[in-house]
Amino acid sequence: MTVTQETLDEIALTRAEYDMIVDRLDREPNTVELGMFGALWSEHCGYKHSRPLLGLFPSRSPRVLSRPGEENAGAVDIGDGWAVVFKVESHNHPSAVEPFQGAATGVGGIVRDILAMGARPIALLNSLRFGPLTDPQNRHLFNGVIGGISWYGNCIGVPDVAGEICFDPSYSQNPLVNAMCVGLVRKDQMATAAAGKPGNILLLVGADTGRDGIHGASGLASRTFEEAVERRPTVQVGNPFLEKVLIEACLEALATGAVEALQDLGAAGLTSAAIESVAMAGRGLQMDLSQVDRREEGMTAYDVMLSESQERMLLIVSPGGVDRVREVFAKWEVTCRQIGRVEQEPQALVWDGASLVAQLPVNDLVDAPRYRLQGIQSPEQRQRQRLALSGLPLPAEGPGGTLLKLLASPNIASKEAVYRQYDHQVQTNTVEGPGSDAAVLRIKGTARAIALAIDGNGRYCELDPYRGGQIAVAEVCRNLTCSGATPVALTNCLNFGNPERPEVYYQLEWCIRGMARACRVLEVPVVSGNVSLYNEAPGMAIYPTPVVGGLGVIDDVSRRTQSAFSGEGLLVGLLGGPSTAWKPRAADLAGSEYLQVVHGLVAGRPRIDLALEKRVQILCRRAIAEGILASAHDCSDGGLAVALAECCIQGGVGFSGELDLPRRWDAVLFGEAQSRIVVSLAADSWRRLEELADGLNVPLRRLGVTGGDHFRLAPLLDLPLADIDDAWSHSLERALAG
């Protein structure tokens, strides 16, 4: 067949890649075969530009039960015979095209990844990025995404327990919608995606197959928006009520012992699910597409193989167990169709009735080309790293007015207007929900709990991807630590622009290098993840935005903390930070919310001391374990003054302290120096905290005491608690009102 450039563009293959396919097959592929190659060799499925870099991440520890990339999600031993399965994935491009369904099906897809490991989904988290809410289109995207997330998660009965939302012009036409799901399974009952023995039967269960989502992986998620023309048909449509019963049916089917393997039909649909499953086992398959229930008339074999219709799973079942599994799905009134079998030879034979529509070697299908490019730091980035305090005038509104302005910034203001739309108590495991540094969920039947957090900062990575990558890992671990949890594993979603541009590849490589170094220092492996590239709208790429999801373990759920001050008369201290705490440093303002909100700048070069970070977190966890701390809150966006104000607002109690501030009070109060935690404790525990800090060589400073109805940092700042509460609590709603 004659393949036009238009055809190759539709499936995001280059002419060189097409020639490579012809060489491997020693013939030209037909339409269905080319579509299968396009899907599996897409950036979204094949990780062509990122896989050579992902091996830099440490991925093993005594707790890790899985290998990254070999299963649908990462699995970690948390003790008492339980494993936690978790992963984060992107649905950026679909959400930009159709925000409600794009976000909803992002939730549905990540839930099925967890289900494919045999785990019951127990928690959702999300990390979202939008352009400024002053733009009506951004408000439309925001409302659609939040609506889709809440609709799907609430309907399937999985609590949404934590997340983050950021706003910046770089995301105006390319929002980021990263969804994370966490599941729980007995570690001896985990499922695999590997298809097992020849003769095993392929059962397709769940929804009928339609045309929604065709070219979602190859066309929408693997190229920039300016290259796409008509994108709406590539967005899937979700049915959370079907997903709910699908979860129960699959878990019951697994309990029969007849299911050899389980796969989600997500990106690239049946092509990806079936081919990757047999490839993991070193096998092949025969499939008959005429057995697939089709939602629409006139669907071709091409449509069926590439459809990304939602709420579908592929079960690989032993021949003797097919009837038992069918009975389970009949009980739940979920469609179950036998569509093929596993074969010894690693060949994929795809039939549509009597017609053979594809005959391809499995190994070639899953062996996408890999590109190791040469990244180049852009001159613009080097220029942005230059920042001198002498060039920044102090804000005319003074410390108090500046604090109110920062608390009102949508990036810092309370997100309660969002998370109150989510059910975060369903399943009755949630001990600490949205609003604290990390969510905490009890593990019923044990004394332990898990902590969950998700975080990232694109501005830091825009300025210095290596240090920004380190900070992303450090901050999510710090958030877990503030709950009393020991960080044990991470997942990540790497959101970047077009990697074929040298400056973007530079960002990708050095973010990964920075993240990997922080993981090694903090001794926390990366067990799963996702890469989302080509996040570019016309004329603008997003900031490089690595989003990190973290899992921590608390051995005794009664020994946990939250970020709010819990009462009056508590001493407030600061763990960590530079030894010269009140010395203004330009690096502390680099990439800060203060610099952008007050001065309209994204500039400077952030820094972090990973050795200090590790000691600060150890100190915090030890103090919590000993029962010394009443609260702990990560000092991050907005700096020290914002962190203190948040503790007051959330606890409904004032604060009074005195700081000998230099003339550059802005850098001290609103700088975002890393490795700092605001803590509160009873006065008689201070001496013990000092002993622990001295033993670990961690700076410890007394800041003040809780109480009253004002927020005071003498001599420069004194505001009624009601004023800071109003600025922080209601500003996001005001921004959404336009």
Model pLDDT for residues 686-723, shown as the tens digit of each residue: 999 999 999 999 999 999 999 999 999 999 999 999 99
The whole-number pLDDT of residue 218 equals: 55
The whole-number pLDDT of residue 236 equals: 83
Q: Give the C-alpha separation, 672 to 685, whole Å.
A: 28
- Render the burial of 181-192: b for 16+ CB within 10 Å, e for the rest: bbbbbebeebbb
Three-class DSSP category at 332: coil
The whole-number pLDDT of residue 237 equals: 86
Residues 45-55, mean pLDDT to the nearest whole number: 94
Say what the pTM is: 0.96
The whole-number pLDDT of residue 1 equals: 61
pLDDT at 232 over 70: no
Structural contact between residues 254 and 120, judged by C-beta atoms closer than 8 angstroms:
no
Top-confidence range, 62-71, 276-285, 426-435:
276-285
pLDDT band at residue 226 using 50, 70 and 90 as cut-offs: low
DSSP sequence for 43-55:
HHHH-TTTHHHHT
pLDDT band at residue 253 using 50, 70 and 90 as cut-offs: very high
Q: What is the pLDDT of residues 9-42, one digit of tens each?
A: 888 899 999 999 999 999 999 999 999 999 999 9
Q: Give the number of other CB atoms < 10 A from CB of residue 113.
A: 27
Q: What is the pLDDT of residues 637-663, one digit of tens each?
A: 999 999 999 999 999 999 999 988 888
Three-class DSSP category at 250: helix
Residues 471-483, mean pLDDT to the nearest whole number: 98
Active site members? 44, 91
**Which DSSP state fits 64?**
B
Q: Give the C-alpha separation, 453 to 476, whole Å.
A: 6
Say what percent of the chain tops pLDDT 70: 97
Residues 599-624, mean pLDDT to the nearest whole number: 97
Mode of pairing for the β-strands spanning 284-288 and 347-352:
parallel
Q: Give the C-alpha separation, 224 to 496, whole Å.
A: 11
Q: Which two tokens stand for residue 119?
A: 């785990």
User: Where do runs of H (alpha helix) occur along 344-464?
Assistant: 362-366, 379-384, 398-407, 416-419, 458-463
3-state secondary structure 587-625: HHHCCCHHHHHHHCCCCCCCCCCHHHHHHHHHHHHHHHH
pLDDT band at residue 230 using 50, 70 and 90 as cut-offs: very low
pLDDT band at residue 194 using 50, 70 and 90 as cut-offs: very high
Q: What is the pLDDT of residues 357-377, one digit of tens each?
A: 999 999 999 999 999 999 999
**Nearest by Cα to 471 from 606, 336, 618, 638:** 606
**Mean of per-residue pLDDT scores for the chain:** 95
User: Where do runs of H (alpha helix) occur along 217-282?
Assistant: 240-255, 269-280
**Nearest by Cα to 105 from 333, 308, 335, 247:** 308
Q: What is the pLDDT of residues 523-541, one digit of tens each?
A: 999 999 999 999 998 878 8
pLDDT at 233 over 80: no
Neighbouring-strand partners of residue 126: 163, 179
Q: What is the pLDDT of residues 402-436, one digit of tens each?
A: 999 999 999 999 999 999 999 989 999 999 999 99
Q: Give the C-alpha separation, 64 to 77, whole Å.
A: 6
Residues 673-682, mean pLDDT to the nearest whole number: 98
Residue entry with tokens 């992902």: 54
Q: Which domains, from first to last, does the chain contain? A: 1-41+192-368 (3.90.650.10), 404-413+561-738 (3.90.650.10)
**Which DSSP state fits 381?**
H
- Render the burial of 336-375: b for 16+ CB within 10 Å, e for the rest: bbebbbbbeebbbbbbbeeeebbebebebbbebeeeebeb
Residue entry with tokens 């002053």: 134
Mode of pairing for the β-strands spanning 700-706 and 655-658:
antiparallel
pLDDT at 228 over 50: no
pLDDT at 345 over 50: yes
pLDDT band at residue 229 using 50, 70 and 90 as cut-offs: very low
